[in-house]
Amino acid sequence: MASLLEKVQTLVAANLHALVDQALKANSLAVIDQYIRQVEDNLEDLEDAAATIGGEVKTLKRKFDEFTAKSAELDRNIDLMLKEGKEELAVAAQSKLNSTTRLAETYKQQFERQQTEYAKLLDAKLKLEAKLTTVKQEREEMQALLDLAKSKELTAKTMQSLDNLLGSGDQDVARIAESIRARLDKASARSEMQAQRLDVQMDELLERTTLETQLAERKKKLGLS
């Protein structure tokens, strides 16, 4: 029994913050689940032990009450025997009273001892149940935190994958854009060349027109038109 209470006290005294920290570092609820299993197993043993001791307490209390009642009855009978002068019967009754009183005292001591043990078991049971409730709540919060962490990790991986795809896509787009820009540059250069030729042609045309006009005016002055 002492061993069971020691185990229970160890579980009750367990540092939940340390367990939670350990679980967070390991990114796993295994530590918490193991603690819960230990608590539940010991709680089951504790309940069985409490029921056993509780039964013994009731039995010892009943025995104590029975022998106390017998002692009281023997005590009354001895007085009656002495009053009636029945010395031999009184001696025998006194001997039986002494034996019964000793048994009653023994049952009383056992009853009180087991009652104290029973009270310890009930107290340990309440504390362990409270600890179990707390750690299960901690586990739920831990589960939520780990789910959130896993969700964020998944999101981060997804975003990384998207970044990689986008990076690859950007290069393709840049390559295509560069090709388009090269074609545009080439077309622009060709246009400039054509424009230059046109300018030359225009200049030549304008110059010829000017020359022809000048010559026409001269012909008119000379009467050659």
pLDDT digits (tens, 9 = 90+) for 80-112: 999 999 999 999 999 999 999 999 999 999 999
Does residue 121 sit within a domain? yes
**Distance from C-alpha of 158 to C-alpha of 15, rounded to nearest angstrom:** 37
Whole-number percent of the chain with pLDDT over 70: 69
pLDDT at 218 over 50: yes
CA 163, distance to chain mean position in Å, is 31
Q: State the total domains in the chain.
A: 1
156 domain-assigned: yes
- Look at residue 38 and tell me if it is in a domain: yes
The answer to the question of residue 225 being in a domain is no
Has residue 200 got a pLDDT over 70? no
**164 located within any domain:** yes
φ, ψ at 223 (rounded to 5°): 75, 30
CA pair distance 117, 125, nearest whole angstrom: 12
Residue 57 lies inside a defined structural domain of this protein: yes
Q: Is residue 51 part of a domain?
A: yes
Taking the CB of residue 183, how many other CB atoms lie within 10 A of it?
10
Is position 188 within any domain?
A: no
Given this model, what pLDDT does residue 94 score?
A: 93
Rounded to an integer, what distance in angstroms lies between the CA atom of residue 144 and that of residue 138? 10
User: For residue 107, what are its two tokens?
Assistant: 């049952």
The whole domain housing 136 covers 2-174
* pLDDT tens profile 143-191: 877 777 676 666 556 545 544 544 545 554 445 445 545 655 665 566 5
Instruction: Output the domain CATH number for residue 52.
Output: 1.10.287
- Identify the band that residue 2 occupies on the pLDDT scale cut at 50, 70 and 90: low
